[in-house]
Structure 1
Amino acid sequence: MPEQKLYIADDNSEFADYLTTVAVRLGWTVEVCKNGNELLELLLGEGGPAVVLVDINMPEKDGIEVIEGLSEIDRPLRFRFMTGGADAPMLAAKLMARARNLSVGRNLYKPIPMETLKRVLTEEWEELLVMGSSSNLPA
């Protein structure tokens, strides 16, 4: 079974620390990025299945701009967009991601309760394993 890999892209370091702490306690390996440029660099530079939590509102490159750079990435990824703000940018991000055939789960609204986060990580990993079993991913 591949390692449970989680990428968190959020410029709020306290919130990213919270997400990291919960995920690590559940056995995940976590990479935190403060903006979309860092996220794209990591996603392009590494391989294997991963869950990606992306804040819509970030400096340098926001969640919507990140989607535009994802077309070059060839690995099984599941995305969840997060916001503490308005719905419209998240809906736009989700539509854009789906139009590019990215695998996107339901949107997340900050603050994310711990039980919700645990459930989301479990659900997303199961989705990745299903995606992987239909491709050439080692199970």
Structure 2
Amino acid sequence: MPERKLYIADDNYEFVEYLQAVASRAGWQVYTCANGNELLALLLSGQDPAVVLVDINMPEKDGIEVIEELTNISRPLRFRFMTGGADAPMLAAKLMARARNLSVGRNLYKPIPMDTLKRVLVEEWEALLLLQESPSQQVQ
């Protein structure tokens, strides 16, 4: 079984620290970044399957702009979009991602309780493993 990798893209340092601490304690290898440009560089540098938590509102390149460039990445990825704000941008991001055949789970709203985060990580890893078994089928 591959190592569980988690990428977190969010410009709120304290929130990222919280997500990283919870995920690390649950056995995940965690990579963090503060904007979409950093996220894209990290995702392009690897091959292994991974779960990606992406904030919709970030500097330099936000979650929606990241989606436009994700089609160049061929590794197995499973996405969850996060926001502490309005629904509309997150719903748009999800629709755009699905239109590009990206595997996307339900949206996450900040703050994310610890038990919810732990459950989401398990759900997303299981969905990612299923996706690898049948890549033509998008898991939701």
TM-score normalised over the length of structure 1: 0.96
Tell me whether 1:93 sits opposite 2:85 in the alignment.
no
Q: CA RMSD in A?
A: 0.6
Q: CA deviation at 1:109?
A: 0.2
Structure 2 counterpart of 1:29: 29
Distance, in Å, in 2 between the alignment partners of 1:123 and 1:103 is 13
Give SS of 1:106's match.
coil
Give SS of 1:128's match.
helix
Q: CA deviation at 1:134?
A: 2.2
Tell me whether 1:49 sits opposite 2:62 in the alignment.
no
Structure 2 counterpart of 1:38: 38
Query: Which 4+ runs in 1 deviate beyond 4 A?
Result: none
Structure 2 counterpart of 1:59: 59
**Structure 1 portions without partners, runs of 5+:** none
TM-score normalised over the length of structure 2: 0.95
Structure 2 counterpart of 1:12: 12
Fraction of identical pairs, as percent: 79
**Structure 2 portions without partners, runs of 5+:** 136-140
Structure 2 counterpart of 1:78: 78
Q: How many corresponding residue pairs?
A: 135
Distance, in Å, in 2 between the alignment partners of 1:32 and 1:25 is 15
